[in-house]
Structure 1
Amino acid sequence: MAGVLAKVCLTMAGQPLNDQTKYAEALQWSELVINSGRHALNSDYKQIFINAAKDIQDTKECIWEIGFYGNGTGNFTQGGTLGISNGITSTDLVDPGYSTGSINATARLFNLYDATDLRRDWCIAPFRYTTTNDVTTQTAWTSAQIYDRNIGKWRRTYESVTPKTRDFNAVNFPALRYSDVLLMYAEAANAVNNGPTTLAEQYLNQVRRRGHGKPITTADATVDVATGLLPARFLEEIQNERAREFAFEGMRQHDLKRWGIYVSKMNTLSTEITATAPSTWRYASSAGRNTSTRNLLFPIPNSEVVLNSGIGVRNQNPGW
């Protein structure tokens, strides 16, 4: 699959391999997907995830999904948990559906969106559910309650497979979306050409416009990036856009590692949480505080070290 190969090549171009020749290959593979004419952005960002909840296949936007089936009852044992462990906290099994709400947003992510970016209040739920006497209502969070907000990307209220259960649902996971291909093209083109090309700017802006509810192919000075940015500045725009576009889709750690900024970003996040979070949530700063180069790679298994004299203890990955 060309889109997956583009992702593989971008990974190889980044740390720790730093094979710069792979940027050209990433550009070719992503261009192949774009020029195929088989894929396009869904004009409505939130509809991507509503479709997933309704078990509607959107192959134009969602190029590759990890499929889940059923709700865990009867003979159906292939269910997933999107929106159950990482949804909006709810004890109502019927509507919206049960969720432990185990993951909250950080102020860093929330503030990365501007107020007109429609993705912010979809990815980060601006409300909580309250159930009283079997009646569930929405209550808006205050502007000060950023760290209290759950993931809102996968909302069980839209699920079509019933009955809704506490443990499983049929919501597919988007492993590769078309917006990812557009941003990979922009990143690779910026690296290959030592600066953004017109197409690189265009593809980045298409993702940004969609996020703001604007016509995707119409230039809009209120959301488009400036033209002619230096390579490092354009890369920074892509890095931030990927955070906004793919929040909670499991890409961020991998991206930060290949860009070589994972440890520094986690360390500064710890400082930010300590400084800005209410006392209830400050414990979350420990993850960033304890992040070091040891966390960049898994250890080489000791069984391999023992059997292969070419590895040896000295060649074990840092910190292990």
Structure 2
Amino acid sequence: MKNILTTAIFHRQKQRCGAMLLKAALPLLLLACKHELTESPQSLMAETFYNTKAEVESAVFAIYLPLRPNTMPNYYATLECQSDYGYGRGSWAQMNEYQGLNDANTNRINPFWADFYVSIRNANFVIRNTPNGNAISETEKTMYIGEARFLRAFCYFHLVRNWGGVPLRTEQNLDVTDIPRSSKEDVYALILEDLANAETSLPDVAAQSGRPSKWTAKTLLADVYLELGRFPEARDKADEAIRSGKYALVPVSSTADYQKIYGPDVITTKEEIFYIKYTRQIEQGNYMLWITNHPSTGLFKAGGAYAIYSETTNPVYANWDNADFRKGLWTKVNIGLGPNSLVSSKYQDPQAISQRGAGTDLPVYRYSELLLLYAEAACRAGNAPTAEAMEALNKVHRRAYGYNPEAPSAADFNLADYDAQSFVDLVMKERGYEFQFEGKRWLELKRSGRAKEIIKAVKNITIADKNFLWPIPLSEMNYNKALDPAKDQNPGY
């Protein structure tokens, strides 16, 4: 449907669909009915579509659409299967064998590639066409282009970490079908260029919850620098975002209080840096709840596939301090694999109306990650932990035990007890507890170079080298004639 996301269509659909918005701060794109969310490349491609603020904003919203319904929840789940604490069940089981993907699981990851590239294409339209708008201010043009470049960098960051070098599709080659595979270095160069633009172009305060600010861009930039081993730059970018004063940890006094961070009725918090937003409407909700929950818990009204689980005997769980409230986000349930099975209760919505009708948002970056990112980068930059790095780590740790994150506590670690390596190990352990089911752990295991060591120690599995990259989809090989299947496919596939 032409111009499906314009303000006029939005208001017509709001009247037609009724009061769909249960979270006042969700991006406006959540307010359309399912059939109105069907993407319309023809209207996005038309240069005349980018003349007004409303038209450009609609085109920006189209960048988010490929990621929300299925890609990000399923992508997170696929990564979580390969964590040290997680196991896949049924068709997901092969993901945690660490031997590379079989045909079934190659089909599982192919849509991620496709949807990241659809988002990139939609971002490219905005970047190329917005400068020509004749009824939109230069300030607004700069802001929307910055948002598009942030989202393009976000997509390429996930592509390059899972597939290595990939074809670089930009606003400069939108009309070219056959694009050769670029090196990882070239992909990262574009990511850094996009984020340098975004951190100066995006607003100080995000236009809406679920959209980026300049501080979101700095957080992603810090994460990219950490991935690249550029530790002083990672430290400094994280420090800029921390010192902005925009963010704070949400205090908790029990495991149940973590729903103040993740709960389905939470609109936003001071902890939120960037989340994928959902609402409790059919086909507008978070599918991750279906993947992780078990029907017996009552935490997800639509049931649950419990496709990813853990075990009380898993060393990560077994060695976890019971006083840590985050451990309580696992629930012991017999799922037919014995009495020691655990399912995650991190994401819950007892009022969800369908498998894809949960109102729970999906975190991408939270303040706790910014603090732990800073802690690791600061230590690595100086080859020793600092008082500031330890304080950043302790804030996250205190909160997990119910203490005030901003005040010294009995749960604090002591700087004198750690050297550079043991401190980095401590940060990595804390990240493993803090970000379960947020799609972080497998990528961190790879980044640290310790994936083989840790998976062998925890699961007694030797990771095959081919498992570290996913195969470039056959559809891309067939479509893109600049790729040579013999030379450009990842090793082992």
Relative to the length of structure 1, the TM-score reads 0.74
The 1-side partners of 2:261 and 2:373 are apart by 24
Deviations 1:95-146 (A, max 9, x none): 7552232221242231242121111012x124679xxxxxxxxxxxxxx944
- Give 1 or 2: higher helix fraction: 2
Structure 1 match to 2:266: 56
Structure 1 match to 2:225: 9
Structure 1 match to 2:464: 292
Cα distance change on mapping 1:169 and 1:219 into 2, 3 Å: same
Aligned match of 2:323 in 94, 99, 116? 116
AA of the residue aligned to 1:33: A
Structure 1 match to 2:492: 319
The 2-side partners of 1:234 and 1:299 are apart by 35
The 1-side partners of 2:389 and 2:434 are apart by 16
Structure 1 match to 2:432: 243
Structure 2 match to 1:151: 344
The 2-side partners of 1:223 and 1:198 are apart by 12
Which structure has the larger Rg? 2
Number of residue pairs matched?
Answer: 268
Cα distance change on mapping 1:145 and 1:121 into 2, 3 Å: farther
Aligned match of 2:405 in 199, 202, 216? 216
Contact 1:196 1:228 (C-alpha < 8 Å) held by counterparts:
no
Q: How far 1:166 sits from its partner (Å)?
A: 3.8
Partner SS state of residue 227, structure 1: helix
AA of the residue aligned to 1:319: G
Deviations 1:157-200 (A, max 9, x none): 3x4xx6x2244312110000000000000000001111111000
- What are the within-5 Å matches in structure 2 for residues 87-236 of structure 1? 87-90=293-296, 97-106=302-311, 107-122=314-329, 124-126=330-332, 145-146=339-340, 148-157=341-350, 159=351, 164-227=353-416, 229-236=418-425
Cα distance change on mapping 1:128 and 1:145 into 2, 3 Å: closer
Structure 1 match to 2:457: 268
Deviations 1:10-49 (A, max 9, x none): 1111xxxxxxxx1111111111111011100001275443
Unaligned 5+ runs, structure 2: 1-216
Cα distance change on mapping 1:169 and 1:97 into 2, 3 Å: same
The 2-side partners of 1:40 and 1:128 are apart by 37
Cα distance change on mapping 1:41 and 1:265 into 2, 3 Å: same
Cα distance change on mapping 1:96 and 1:83 into 2, 3 Å: same
Contact 2:261 2:269 (C-alpha < 8 Å) held by counterparts:
no
Deviations 1:278-318 (A, max 9, x none): xxxxxxxxxx45x3121112346784998468x974x8644
Identity %: 26
Q: How far 1:227 sits from its partner (Å)?
A: 2.8
Q: How far 1:85 sits from its partner (Å)?
A: 1.7
Contact 2:386 2:415 (C-alpha < 8 Å) held by counterparts:
no
Structure 2 match to 1:134: none
Q: How far 1:60 sits from its partner (Å)?
A: 1.1
Relative to the length of structure 2, the TM-score reads 0.49
Contact 1:206 1:217 (C-alpha < 8 Å) held by counterparts:
yes
Q: How far 1:62 sits from its partner (Å)?
A: 1.5
Q: How far 1:56 sits from its partner (Å)?
A: 1.7
Contact 2:316 2:458 (C-alpha < 8 Å) held by counterparts:
no
The 2-side partners of 1:180 and 1:83 are apart by 22
Partner SS state of residue 266, structure 1: helix
195-204 or 52-61: bigger deviation: 52-61
Contact 2:385 2:415 (C-alpha < 8 Å) held by counterparts:
no
Partner SS state of residue 90, structure 1: helix
2:200 is aligned with 1:24: no
The 2-side partners of 1:267 and 1:79 are apart by 36
The 2-side partners of 1:247 and 1:95 are apart by 18
The 2-side partners of 1:241 and 1:225 are apart by 15
Cα distance change on mapping 1:48 and 1:174 into 2, 3 Å: farther
2:272 is aligned with 1:83: no
AA of the residue aligned to 2:492: G
Q: How far 1:211 sits from its partner (Å)?
A: 0.6
Contact 2:221 2:237 (C-alpha < 8 Å) held by counterparts:
yes
Contact 1:90 1:97 (C-alpha < 8 Å) held by counterparts:
no
Partner SS state of residue 226, structure 2: helix
Aligned-residue CA RMSD in angstroms? 3.0
Deviations 1:229-286 (A, max 9, x none): 1111000001100001111211000000000011232233332xxxxxxxxxxxxxxx
The 2-side partners of 1:95 and 1:64 are apart by 24
Contact 2:324 2:400 (C-alpha < 8 Å) held by counterparts:
yes
Cα distance change on mapping 1:155 and 1:307 into 2, 3 Å: closer
Contact 2:218 2:238 (C-alpha < 8 Å) held by counterparts:
yes
Partner SS state of residue 274, structure 2: strand
Cα distance change on mapping 1:120 and 1:95 into 2, 3 Å: closer
Structure 2 match to 1:275: none
Partner SS state of residue 104, structure 1: strand
The 1-side partners of 2:450 and 2:265 are apart by 37
Contact 1:209 1:224 (C-alpha < 8 Å) held by counterparts:
no
